Chains A and B, each alone.
Chain A
Amino acid sequence: MPLIARFLPKNRSVRALVTIGLLGIALLITIVTSIGVGAISIETSTVVKVLWSKVGTELAEDEYVQSSAIIFGIRFPRTIMAVLIGGALSICGAALQGLFRNPLADPQLIGVSGGAALAAAASIIWVPTVAALSEYGDQNWFLPLAAFLGGLVSTFVVYRISGYKGKTSVSTMLLAGIAINAFTAAGIGYLIFTADDNQIRDLTFWLLGSLGSSTWETVYVAFPFLLFTILVLPLLGKKMNVLLMGEREAAYLGVNVEVIKRVIIVLCALGVGVSVSVSGIIGFVGLVIPHILRLMIGTDHRFLLPASVLLGALLLLASDVLARTIVVPAELPIGIVTAFAGAPFFLWLLLRNRTAIHSL
């Protein structure tokens, strides 16, 4: 049992609920403190007062004008995006692992993010107004829609290839992911080859994964989809537990397997696709977070899914703070931060599960 789990209550359900409560509190604290951190640092008390002014006591006219502008103009929308994208990527990872019935499924590794990125990149290059709209506001629905469809196609392809007679093979899943990632990388490479200088700058920055382009406009577009994913997926927790027994057993237990599989695929494509359309590919979140949580609270998806949202949001927010402060005044793409942390973690997972994986 890992160290953290030792301090939590023994009964698994109680432990899970306590963990979810603690994560919620930790997330709130991280949100408030992270808004204060940056090139110009703002006192936590000021952050609270400024945020509170939107719902409660209004500020006097000349109070905190500068802080208020920084908070609402730059940092708050970015925080919202970090929370939603972290939550969505992480819960989609957990859900895909349930769908594939193995803990190594990750939106990036199996090509969901790649498919979404290729479709989004194509829409940026080939639909000029899209790029313009995504930069200068107005509600641009086309980019997330394209990313959603790209993610949907790749999820569906990997699932059909790696699933056979109601069972899924880990190696086929990962190999199919490699193939899809190779294809999408080539596709994006081709788009870059044909793009002009401005487009190239946009594309590469976006491809590395960054929350830097988060504005109120992107929040408006992405918010409903990501919130929908985050709120609906946890409702499937009980059925996902049953699905882990295998499709045949799940059918005997009264679960409509085909319907629930489709719902998971569509919701994951939506969550990952919309996230990718905003921030590019941010890898390993969907792999690492559910895994840490399984060690802490177990496999029960009724608790694992909501806990994934909270911890995913928290860690991505923390990574974003790191990304935008570590090389001030420049900013590191957050995808680099998560990959530096996540890739070694993935190797450690492989090492730890070596025997189990070989037998699959």
Chain B
Amino acid sequence: MIRTEHITVTVPSGKTLLEDVSVFLRPGEITAVIGKNGAGKSTLLKAITGNIAIKTGDIWYGEQVFSPDIQTQLAKVRAVVSQNVQLNFAFTVQEVVNIGRSPHSGFFGSMEDERIVRACLEQVDATHLADRDYTTLSGGEQQRVHIARALAQIWESVHGDNMGYLLLDEPLASLDISHQHQILDLLQSIAKNGVTVLIIIHDLNLAAQYSDQIIALKQGVVLASGAPEEVVKPTTISTAFDYPVQILPHPQSGHPMVIPVTRPA
């Protein structure tokens, strides 16, 4: 469980990036964060992970209030997939995923670590990339490798009783449609094991289909939050994105689907 209580983030110039944001991420659920570019989605993730300082408010991981001192401890149960990781060295894909094991392993990894790395690569459909040079991969392949790295990091939480947290910033941006659904299926099964999952996502239909809770941000403020059916409504979405939309039910599953309204020419 992750909880933020009235957190506010400002930059030195005085601009407020997040204002009085209180969210509640439940274990066993996928929470999707949606909003326009610059709405504060990545800022929220960075605040939760301690990557930027909050001005006021508190962040809770389970029963523990967050402070920079617990970063090392969190590394064993929390994994973060950031946008655009810059890696200029020719690590193999296996080595990159193995770096996810570093909070758990000694100076030299174990056979168990190698087994976990292989299993994680298989889960993101990247087994065939294991020995490739990471720097030669396509954007979508690199994203899957980083998701595998995150899975390797919280393997014990996913496959045990520990609390676990998985936070992803637009992990699907460069993926093709089949890999998008594959990864979201994977995230659902991870959440089912009691992990708290947060995903920043631009595709509203995917958010509505796969998440248990949606948080819509606008200009650093929570515009709406709740179950997909409660948030994905024409007025809320149109306000959040300043763009007129209609909502139709998915022909098979009945999930709300967002259709942009074509403006008269």
> What's the tally of chain B residues with a CB closer than 8 Å to chain A?
31
Q: Which residue of B49, B50, B75, B85 contacts A245 across the interface (Cβ within 8 Å)? A: B85
> What's the tally of chain A residues with a CB closer than 8 Å to chain B?
28
Q: Which residues of B contact A39 (CB under 8 A)?
A: none
Say if the beta carbon of B80 comes within 8 Å of chain A: yes
Q: Is the CB of A245 within 8 A of B79?
A: no
Closest to A241 in B: B99
Chain A nearest CB: distance from B12 CB in Å? 13
Q: Is the CB of B51 within 8 A of A238?
A: no
Closest to B78 in A: A252
Alpha-carbon distance A245/B100, docked complex (angstroms) = 11
Closest to B84 in A: A246
Q: Is the CB of B86 within 8 A of A167?
A: yes
Q: Which residues of B contact A252 (CB under 8 A)?
A: 49, 71, 75, 78-80, 82
Chain B nearest CB: distance from A266 CB in Å? 21
Say if the beta carbon of A299 comes within 8 Å of chain B: yes
Say if the beta carbon of B253 comes within 8 Å of chain A: no
Say if the beta carbon of B180 comes within 8 Å of chain A: no
Say if the beta carbon of B218 comes within 8 Å of chain A: no
Closest to A244 in B: B89
Q: Is the CB of B75 within 8 A of A254?
A: yes
Closest to B91 in A: A299
Alpha-carbon distance A103/B99, docked complex (angstroms) = 19
Closest to A295 in B: B90
Chain A nearest CB: distance from B110 CB in Å? 12
Q: Which residues of A contact B79 (CB under 8 A)?
A: 252
Chain B nearest CB: distance from A343 CB in Å? 22
Alpha-carbon distance A201/B167, docked complex (angstroms) = 63
Chain B nearest CB: distance from A229 CB in Å? 19
Say if the beta carbon of A261 comes within 8 Å of chain B: no
Q: Which residues of B contact A238 (CB under 8 A)?
A: 102, 107
Closest to A243 in B: B99
Alpha-carbon distance A242/B96, docked complex (angstroms) = 9
Say if the beta carbon of B153 comes within 8 Å of chain A: yes
Q: Which residues of B contact A360 (CB under 8 A)?
A: 88
Instruction: Indicate whether A253 sits within 8 Å of B100 (C-beta atoms), given known contacts A238-B107, A248-B82, A302-B107.
Output: yes
Alpha-carbon distance A88/B96, docked complex (angstroms) = 28
Say if the beta carbon of B262 comes within 8 Å of chain A: no
Say if the beta carbon of B87 comes within 8 Å of chain A: yes
Q: Which residues of A contact B99 (CB under 8 A)?
A: 241-242, 245, 253
Q: Is the CB of B102 within 8 A of A253?
A: yes
Say if the beta carbon of B76 comes within 8 Å of chain A: yes
Chain A nearest CB: distance from B101 CB in Å? 9
Among A102, A103, A254, A356, residue most surrounded by chain B Cβ atoms (within 10 Å): A254
Q: Is the CB of B76 within 8 A of A246?
A: no
Chain A contacts to B: CB under 8 angstroms: 12, 101-103, 167, 235, 237-238, 241-242, 244-246, 248-249, 251-256, 294, 298-300, 302, 356, 360
20 contacts between A and B (CB under 8 A): A12-B92, A101-B88, A244-B89, A245-B85, A245-B87, A245-B99, A246-B85, A246-B86, A252-B79, A252-B80, A253-B99, A253-B102, A254-B72, A254-B74, A254-B76, A298-B91, A298-B95, A299-B89, A299-B91, A299-B95
